[in-house]
Amino acid sequence: MEKKINGKNIGQKSKSWMRLDNAAKIYPAAKNRNWTALFRISAEFTEKIDVAALEEAQKNVLTRFPHYAQRLKKGLFWYYLEQNDGMPAVTEDVGNPCVRMNLCENKRFMFRVRYYDKRIAVEIFHVLADGTGGLCFLKTLAAEYLKIRYGADIPRGNGILDCTEPPKKSDIEDAYLKYARKTTNSRTEKKAYYIKGTDEPIDVVHITTGIIPVEDVLEKAKCTGVTLNEYLTAVMIAVIDKMQREEKKGKFLRGLKPIKINVPVDLRKFYDTNTLRNFALFVNPGIDPRYGEYSFEEILKIVHCYMGLEATEKMLNAKFSANVNNEKLKLLRITPLFIKNAVMKMLYIVWGDRQTSTTISNLGRVELPEEMAKYVTRMDFILGPLLKNRDVCAALSYNGTLYLNFTRTIAEPTLEREFFRYLVKQGIHVKIESNQTY
């Protein structure tokens, strides 16, 4: 009979564990039986996917990304991540991506690799990483797959890791904790107008994709003195402003609510870190329609100036430092997890994504080495549904094309329809795809 100490066999090696980063802490509390905070990044190849090669590639990549081979555990005071045994299944893709992830059915892994025809996709629970970290995972997975399938010699670097190297401690650092300072700034804002609609069943997620020559948008942005992301944000504000005014037609201006767009900012560009976990923060540029009607030129100026003021190292640091410093409070640290959970869930429901009208998350231009790019024809970034904002947008540019993906869990496609119409009226060519048949 084996002897045990504290419930463990003598000589049994303890499983490695890791704290959640500062941004990840809200997601386990906020998730429910119908919703998990997911995002998805995919790549399409020149030939049909070899599943055996993909399974082997996933196995190799997890040796370089061991924090992906973790499961979520409850502690007395906080959730934490613990080493997970086994290997997640590589599964065939579905028509409705980013539907809630059942962790039990997924062997407790918090990501899933999917394939269909020529496409490989990864869907990731935000506890593990942000979009930049997830993109690194997919690029490395794709490079490893091409190496196994074709013997391709893919140069490593620029977000493609070498799976023969051991993991680095810097890959999993909590950069929020590392770079937080004492000076803080409140993130409290007024609630914004949000898009209403008819709820779809929980297993239905509409994806509408706008495929656009990136130079067309860049030219418009440069002509107006803004960045591509600022231009798209301004278009989103203008469209939602029109939607709200039509919805509240005949009512007084004071009945209108602010329109704000949640725009994630990658904090890595401000700090010396290569963390593959979460390290992003959000800014919320917008307008207050109660002050009157805005021309598109006015909205462009507002967005440009707001980003210039708020999307800076000092302002962003003050915001995430507030979260980190709150986490360090003695009273909060000794509060039992079940109480923390209830409070964080309530705060997310009450405030969460209610401070903004929608989200537009842009991973920017994705570059692949020539040895890899010749196999990859397309890449996409998709946000999973949010609790309150039921129609959100994610984007990336690859090989001269901008892919704008709207994710919707309501029946009415009003936002994306008006958004793409606006671009077309600006002289921008848009090709539309959808995962639904109308």
CATH of the domain at 301: 3.30.559.30
Residues β-bridged to residue 199: 410
Q: Clarify whether residues 211 and 128 are in a common domain.
A: no
323 burial (CB, 10 Å; 0-12 / 13-18 / 19+) is middle
Mean pLDDT of the chain: 91
Nearest to 383 by CA among 303, 263, 215: 263
Element (H, E) at 121: strand 119-125
Residue-number span of the structural domain to which 49 is assigned: 16-179
Domain count, the chain: 2
Ranges of beta strands (E only) in 12-118 are 17-19, 38-45, 70-74, 79-83, 90-92, 111-116
Last residue of a domain, one of 130, 164, 179: 179
Note whether residue 30 is domain-resident.
yes
Q: What is the rounded (10 degree) CA torsion for 423, 428, 429, 431?
A: -30
Helix, strand, coil percentages (3-state) for the chain, rounded to 5, are: 35, 25, 40
Q: Clarify whether residues 167 and 224 are in a common domain.
A: no
Q: What's the DSSP call for residue 42?
A: E
Residues 6+ apart with CB under 8 A from 298: none
Last residue of a domain, one of 179, 197, 229: 179
- Map residue 292 onto helix, strand or coil: coil
Note whether residue 6 is domain-resident.
no
d(CA 144, CA 97): 24
With contact defined as beta carbons under 8 Å apart, do 110 and 127 qualify? yes
Q: Clarify whether residues 313 and 394 are in a common domain.
A: yes
Q: Clarify whether residues 165 and 27 are in a common domain.
A: yes
Last residue of a domain, one of 162, 179, 196: 179
Residues 6+ apart with CB under 8 A from 37: 27, 30, 31, 125, 126, 127, 384, 386
Angle, helices 296-310/228-247, rounded to nearest 10 degrees? 120
Nearest to 125 by CA among 30, 194, 209: 30
Backbone angles phi, psi at 290, to 5 degrees: -65, -20
Q: Clarify whether residues 231 and 150 are in a common domain.
A: no
Q: How many CB atoms lie within 10 A of CB 103?
A: 16
Q: Clarify whether residues 165 and 218 are in a common domain.
A: no
d(CA 345, CA 210): 34
Ranges of beta strands (E only) in 217-289 are 259-266, 280-283, 286-287
d(CA 247, CA 12): 63
Q: Give the pairing of strands 111-116 and 90-92.
A: parallel
pLDDT at 254: 78
Residues 6+ apart with CB under 8 A from 322: 184, 185, 186, 187
Note whether residue 8 is domain-resident.
no
Residue 62: both structure tokens together: 């997890």
Note whether residue 200 is domain-resident.
no
Q: Clarify whether residues 210 and 171 are in a common domain.
A: no
Q: Clarify whether residues 127 and 169 are in a common domain.
A: yes
pLDDT by 10s per residue, the chain, length 438 = 333 333 344 344 567 889 999 999 988 888 877 788 999 999 999 999 999 999 999 999 999 999 999 999 998 888 899 999 999 999 999 998 998 899 999 999 999 999 999 999 999 999 999 999 999 999 999 999 999 999 999 999 999 999 999 999 999 999 999 999 999 987 778 899 989 999 999 889 999 999 999 999 999 999 999 999 999 999 999 999 999 999 988 667 778 999 999 999 999 999 999 999 999 999 999 999 999 999 999 999 999 999 999 999 999 999 999 989 988 877 777 788 878 888 877 777 666 677 899 999 999 999 999 999 999 999 999 999 887 788 999 999 999 999 999 999 999 999 999 999 999 999 999 999 999 764
Taking only the tens place, the pLDDT of each residue in 231-273 is: 999 999 999 999 999 998 866 777 899 999 999 999 999 999 9
Q: In what order do the strands lie in the sheet with 111-116?
A: 90-92, 111-116, 119-125, 38-45, 376-383
Q: Clarify whether residues 298 and 337 are in a common domain.
A: yes
